[in-house]
Amino acid sequence: MDDLSLKVVSGEILGFLGPNGAGKSTTIRILLDLIRPSSGSAAILGHDCQRDGVRARESCGYLPGDLRLYDTWKGEEVTRFVADLRRVRVAKAEIADLADRLDLDLERTVGDYSKGNRQKLGLVLALAHRPQVIILDEPTSGLDPMRQRTVWELLRERADEGAAVLLSSHVMSEVETVCDRVAVLRHGQLLRAGPVGELLAAAPARLDISFDGSVPDLASIHGVSMLRSNHRAVSLAFQGDPNDLIRKLAGSRISEIAVRPPRLDDVVLQLYEQEDAA
């Protein structure tokens, strides 16, 4: 990590994005005091993660990217074990409700769980004590689309109740759907951080246009980046004055046009390209 400064506030879901090796998991592990930074500091609700780690983790719920549990234990035993470790009284109804929403059978042995069910148990462990800070590393990995949606709903509910959520994910559509803000990391450095809407607004829209006839010269228009082109169709990214584009297209016969709004993966890829170019 190098010169990373980041803050997650109460009531927001921050998407933590970056390719493998960007430093997402390292940041999370520093927050949990599993590893120590060579310089700098991290704090959770004002408690320094290293010097006052126990207090910092008291208000924290964590789901690691690669959750490992005691394989011979039942799901219910694991939930009781973690509650005892935290020395908090977790309402059985809360655990049962989470398990029910995630469709998880807590009476089964962890070793018999599928990857998705382990993930669900990890989510129950991370959320059951209603933490003020929720840190999740790839929370929907291995879950079916229905349960992914349930997880997104759960996170939104918790954020609406005042929790601060740090969500590390590779799945851009998930981050775009559920997060309020994103922070994009690469090579241990923060490339960009800001509200999802703001990032998307600054990103180019994508147009797929098919022509009845020859394809006009669109590359010369300011703000156009040609993505694909053949003698009948073009795909382009556009971020400029739409009137310039419309005037140019008006002289051609168009058989089909599709405008796709900017997507987060386009924004992130563009950031990587800009960094590579720099």
Partner 1 sequence: MTPIARASIREARPTLIGVAAIVFALAIWVCAVYPSFRSTLADFELPPGYDAFLGEAESLASPAGFLSAEFFSWIPALWAGVAIAIGTGALGGEESNGTLETLLAQPISRTRVLLEKSITLTTALVLTVATSIPAFAIGLPLGDLDIALWRVVVALGLGALTALVFLALSFWLAALLATRRQAALLATGALIAAYFINTLGAAVPSIDALRPLSPLYWADASVPLTGSFDWWRLLALIATPLVLWVLSWHAFNRREIGSGMSVLRWPWATRAKRAVGA
Rounded-to-integer distance, Cα 8 and Cα 44, Å: 9
Give the Cα separation of 205 and 215 in Å (integer).
20
Considering the complex, what minimum distance in angstroms separates the CB of residue 90 from partner 1?
Answer: 12
65 contacts 117 by C-beta, under 8 angstroms: no
Site for partner 1 contains 130 (CB under 8 A): no
69 binds partner 1 (CB under 8 A): yes
Question: Judged by CB under 8 A, which of 6, 11, 48, 64 binds partner 1?
Answer: 64
Region near partner 1 per CB under 8 A, out of 69-77, 152-160, 198-206, 223-231: 69-77
Task: Give long-range contacts, CB 8 A cutoff, 24+ apart: 190-198.
Answer: 190/3, 190/4, 190/5, 190/6, 191/271, 191/272, 191/275, 192/271, 193/6, 196/15, 196/264
For position 238 contacting partner 1 by CB under 8 A, the verdict is no
Please select the residue that binds partner 1; options are 14, 27, 49, 58, rule is CB under 8 A. 58
**How far is it, in rounded angstroms, from Cα 248 to Cα 218?**
7
Count of residues binding partner 1 (CB under 8 A)?
28
- Among the listed ranges 82-90, 185-193, 201-209, 238-246, the one in contact with partner 1 (CB under 8 A) is 82-90
Write the CA distances from 1 to 4, 29, 94, 250, 277, integer angstroms. Answer: 7, 12, 37, 51, 21
Find the shortest distance in angstroms from Cβ 124 to partner 1: 13
CA gap 118, 169 in Å, rounded: 18
CB closer to partner 1, 26 vs 210: 26
The sign one gets for the Cα dihedral 212, 213, 215, 217 is: negative
- Considering the complex, what minimum distance in angstroms separates the CB of residue 96 from partner 1? 21
**HSE value, Cβ hemisphere, 13 Å, CA-based, for 226:** 12
Residue type, 191: L
- Contact status: 142 vs partner 1 (CB under 8 A): no
Binding mask 26-45 for partner 1 (x = CB under 8 A): ---x--xxxxx---------
Q: Which of 10, 45, 84, 260 binds partner 1 (CB under 8 A)?
A: 84
Q: Which residues bind partner 1 (CB under 8 A)?
A: 29, 32-36, 53-58, 60, 62, 64, 66-70, 72, 81-82, 84-87, 125
